[in-house]
């Protein structure tokens, strides 16, 4: 029950479930429930001790010389779980200390500084100490509650781990995976559904679950987010290398280096198979359930990006080429189902066709990284790029709900963005930010030291946070904090702007 209270200088209005507007039958029905208070009127209202009339453009005006308007306050996790928010809904975010408005399908934080220049964000690290072997990272994912899931393996040992951390970095549970072969991918959606993917494996044990296939096959499993136990296990009928994309309803897709896309329901039951022909480098699903894949040609001359619907029916495609070579590609998508492609190329990258003429971008004397933005029909809307000195740079990208694009990478030499050079002496690993809501404006880069510069993974938590994972053999240094290199461990590095 929400009430009005009159004070000496202002009438304080608790604005929750209060409608000010023209009376309707639906409003009358709501009044009769007695659960909430509704005021329906087509007369503009002014709140406060004033003889003035409301502004002609306002249905409701609040006036005071010494008090403000207090709107609902909650942390970002609770904000994300509001059911069917109305366009323009406003809430104060107590976690990130900003006013959020629901605009075009995402919660926009009004405080964010997206000016070009040095990033003002912070880095911190969560070390994980082990007493056995050297832990090598494979993947990282974040659910809608801010929990972080890390997939790693012990070098020279048939032992892998899935670990779940709280948003404060506390270890919640750890599951051992014993097998021959390799772990490939981990994906977690906002609801906490987990899938893990293995490659060329037999004699598989996941916690207390035992699968004993007598052939070297790839496989996929769904895990319980409460304790990591196996819910479903599916042995695939081939030994291809698969990457995964997980939908919010628990259904998922696998894309293989054999060119096949496999569609599964939430019980890990195979529904159908699409033949994409070219080997798949990365796979994503948008918020409509469509499948988006990138595939690099065998001669490394170009990369194709293709969209299918959830039944596997072709929707659209586009192509990015290079006069020299395309090394790798990664996909990300935003809340508006726009698509972003990250490509590593040599000399330049281009799109178009010989008849209409090519558009060429990203000229460099060495290697470069191109970021290409597509609309829902996979037409290119903007591009940008930065330079680097290495052929085998490892990168991954993701976007948060506020359309900030994060890139995790590593370099043994340098990267160059907008004529400014960032050397490995400043940090061999980096997290970059771009504003995806504009023309891919560069927002800054944060660097930290890690001996290993390959195998870069990143996942984001809405509210300008991102997580990557580093293998600290010979040390990881974030700011002035050195994680001891004498012990074997991995470190989750968290970026935050708060």
Residue pair 207/179 in contact by the 8 Å Cβ criterion: no
One digit per residue, the tens of pLDDT, for the chain of length 498 reads: 222 233 333 333 333 344 444 444 444 444 444 444 445 556 666 776 666 777 778 778 888 888 888 889 988 778 878 888 898 999 998 876 778 888 777 777 765 444 444 555 777 777 665 544 556 677 889 888 889 998 887 766 678 889 999 988 888 999 999 888 888 899 998 888 999 998 877 788 999 999 876 677 889 999 999 999 999 999 888 888 899 999 988 999 999 999 999 999 988 899 999 999 889 999 999 888 899 999 988 787 888 999 999 999 999 999 888 777 777 788 888 777 888 888 888 877 777 665 555 677 777 777 888 889 999 999 998 888 888 766 556 677 777 766 788 888 877 777 888 778 877 666 677 888 888 876 888 888 888 777 666 667 788 876 668 878 766 544 455 555 555 554 445 677 888 775
Cα(411)–Cα(393) distance, rounded to whole angstroms?
7
pLDDT score at 314:
95
Cα(63)–Cα(2) distance, rounded to whole angstroms?
20
- CB atoms under 10 Å from CB of 4, counted, come to 12
pLDDT score at 1:
24
Helix, strand or coil, per DSSP, at residue 79: helix
DSSP conformational letter for 480: T
**Positive or negative: CA dihedral 478, 371, 341, 338:** positive
Planar angle of CA 86, 91, 94, nearest 5 degrees: 145
Cα(88)–Cα(108) distance, rounded to whole angstroms?
10
Residue pair 171/491 in contact by the 8 Å Cβ criterion: no
Cα(308)–Cα(305) distance, rounded to whole angstroms?
10
DSSP conformational letter for 70: P
CA dihedral 266, 268, 269, 271 (to 10 degrees): 70
Residue pair 254/304 in contact by the 8 Å Cβ criterion: no
Cα(74)–Cα(136) distance, rounded to whole angstroms?
38
- Strand-pairing partners, residue 221, are 196, 233
b/e for 176-214, b at 16 or more Cβ within 10 A? ebebebbbbbbbbbbebbbbbbbbbbbebbbbeeebeee
Residue pair 397/386 in contact by the 8 Å Cβ criterion: no
pLDDT score at 305:
93
Residue 452's alpha-carbon distances to 162, 335, 428, 436, 470, in angstroms, are 20, 33, 8, 29, 8
Cα(93)–Cα(70) distance, rounded to whole angstroms?
12
Residue pair 85/101 in contact by the 8 Å Cβ criterion: no
DSSP conformational letter for 250: S
**Positive or negative: CA dihedral 468, 166, 154, 233:** negative
Q: How far does Cα 226 stand from its chain's mean position?
A: 22
Burial of 24 (0-12, 13-18, 19+ CB in 10 A): exposed
């Amino acid at each position: 029950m929400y009430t009005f209270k009159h004070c000496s200088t202002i009438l304080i209005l608790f604005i929750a479930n209060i409608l000010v507007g023209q009376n309707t039958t639906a409003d009358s029905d709501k009044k009769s429930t007695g659960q909430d208070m509704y005021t329906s009127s087509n007369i503009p209202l002014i709140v406060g001790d004033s003889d003035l009339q409301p502004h002609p453009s306002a249905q409701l005006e609040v006036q005071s010389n010494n008090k403000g308007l207090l709107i609902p306050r909650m942390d970002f996790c609770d904000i994300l779980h509001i059911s069917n928010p109305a366009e323009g809904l406003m809430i104060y975010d107590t976690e990130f200390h900003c006013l959020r408005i629901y605009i075009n399908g995402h919660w926009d934080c009004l405080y964010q500084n997206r000016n070009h220049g040095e990033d003002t964000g912070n880095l911190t690290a969560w070390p994980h100490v082990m007493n056995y072997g050297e832990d090598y990272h494979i993947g990282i994912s974040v659910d809608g509650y801010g929990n972080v899931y890390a997939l790693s393996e012990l070098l020279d040992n048939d032992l892998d781990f899935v670990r779940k951390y709280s948003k404060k970095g506390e270890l919640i549970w750890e599951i051992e995976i014993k097998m021959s072969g390799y772990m490939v991918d981990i994906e977690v959606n906002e609801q906490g559904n987990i899938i893990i993917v293995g490659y060329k494996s037999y004699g598989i044990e996941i916690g207390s679950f035992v699968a004993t296939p007598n052939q070297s096959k790839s496989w996929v499993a769904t895990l319980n987010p409460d304790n990591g136990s196996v819910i479903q296990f599916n042995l695939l009928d081939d030994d291809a290398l698969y990457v995964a994309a997980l939908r919010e309803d628990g259904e998922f897709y696998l894309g293989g280096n054999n060119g096949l896309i496999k569609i599964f329901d939430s019980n890990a039951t195979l529904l159908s198979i699409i033949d994409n022909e070219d080997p798949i480098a990365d796979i994503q699903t948008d918020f409509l359930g469509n499948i988006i894949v990138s595939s690099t040609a065998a001669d490394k001359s170009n990369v194709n990006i293709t969209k299918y619907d959830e039944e596997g029916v072709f929707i659209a495609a586009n192509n990015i080429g290079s006069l020299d070579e395309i090394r790798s590609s990664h996909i990300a998508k935003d809340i508006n189902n726009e698509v972003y492609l990250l490509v590593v190329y040599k000399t330049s990258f281009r799109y178009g066709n010989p008849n209409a003429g090519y558009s060429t971008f990203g000229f460099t004397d060495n290697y470069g990284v191109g970021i290409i933005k597509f609309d829902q029909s996979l037409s290119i809307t903007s591009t940008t790029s930065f330079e680097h000195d290495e052929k085998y740079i490892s990168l991954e990208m993701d976007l948060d709900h506020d359309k900030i694009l994060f890139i995790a990478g590593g370099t043994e030499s340098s990267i160059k963005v907008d004529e400014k050079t960032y050397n490995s002496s400043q940090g061999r690993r980096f997290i970059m930010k771009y504003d995806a809501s504009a023309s891919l404006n560069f927002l800054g880069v944060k660097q930290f030291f890690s001996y290993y510069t390959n195998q870069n993974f990143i996942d984001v938590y809405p509210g300008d946070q991102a997580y990557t994972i580093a293998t600290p053999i010979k040390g990881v240094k974030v700011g002035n904090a050195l994680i001891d290199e004498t012990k074997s461990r991995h470190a989750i590095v968290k970026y935050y702007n708060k």
